[in-house]
Amino acid sequence: MKRILITGATGFIGHHLVDYILSKTAYEVVALDRMSFAGSMSRLADLRSVSENSKRISWRWHDLRAPISELLAEQIGHVDIILHLAASSHVDRSIADPIGFVMDNTLGTAHLLDYARRLCGLERFLYFSTDEVFGPAPVGVAYREWDRYHSANPYAASKAGAEELCLAFRNTYGLPVIVTHTMNVFGERQHPEKYIPMTVKKVCDGGNVIVHSSRDRKRPGSRFYIHAQDVASAVMFLLSRGQPGEKYNIVGEREVDNLILAKMIADTCHRPLRYELVDFHSSRPGHDLRYALDGSRLAAMGWRHGASFPESLEKTVRWYLDNPQWLFCGHVRQEVAA
């Protein structure tokens, strides 16, 4: 039976990946996490797959700002696959604390790579990166996997630096590294600082939703939103079909601007939408108005989305309406269109 080490397993995307693996495979999972504010054991406790397969999951606490010791490596035991999702991911916080993001995302990845290169029989090391490494995408442009990087903020730069380390360890030590770029992920149990749960809460409370736009306040920002279960599906697909040393974009099925998205959320909530378009450039330095990735490579390999975007969004919004406690877990720092 294969054993998969998942870093950041109590995070938003990490816990969806744990759920997918326990539900659809016979693999064992070793969860490695430092339990920062973004992680929560409540996510995993909320999953039926965890309660029904408790013997297939084990836990280890570790902060990857420090190397993995021999004792911890022994406690982890043999692993066949490493999925590295642990990261600090909020752009606003990276602007306030750039060094912290370098420590978490770049140095943390270096420590995990250094541990991985000493493992015997490691089949895959998948590094979970972001669309933000490419910077803003002009209208009509969708970046391919090996296009140039142009990081607009410390978060993006810290992830790009970690990607280069992954490729260096592939080239130097033969580590079986795969890199993914993923666009804006949504789904159940997401931190309420993110745009979709934040908008659900604002709409239900009768508050004002801030939507960042172009300078003339006529064009809202846009993203290719993708549900976390689709991301998990793509990751597992790549573990069997992806090639070491390669990069793959995991992209939502279609582009949606954030005002249309907010209206779709309000319609599902059966509430009116109160919103304000705000000049993105002056109010949100270090952010990009539009991101876009080309997902044709993964599609050509045979991977497909599950439910459509409208179906996934409606399901997610209804879940939050039925589980409103997840709209209050933690401090919502700023109204941002992610």
Residues with active-site annotation: 131-132, 155
User: Is residue 213 within 8 Å of 278, Cβ to Cβ?
Assistant: yes
Locate 45 and state its tokens. 């406790």
User: Is residue 297 within 8 Å of 247, Cβ to Cβ?
Assistant: no
Distance (Å, whole) CA 184 – CA 196: 10
3-state secondary structure of 78: coil
Distance (Å, whole) CA 177 – CA 335: 36
User: Is residue 49 within 8 Å of 41, Cβ to Cβ?
Assistant: no
Q: What is the per-residue DSSP string for 9-30?
A: TTSHHHHHHHHHHHHH---EEE
Residue 325 burial (CB < 10 Å; 0-12/13-18/19+)? exposed
**Which residues are paired to 148 by β-bridges?**
none
**Which residues are paired to 3 by β-bridges?**
28
The torsion angles phi and psi of 293, rounded to 5 degrees, stand at -120, 150
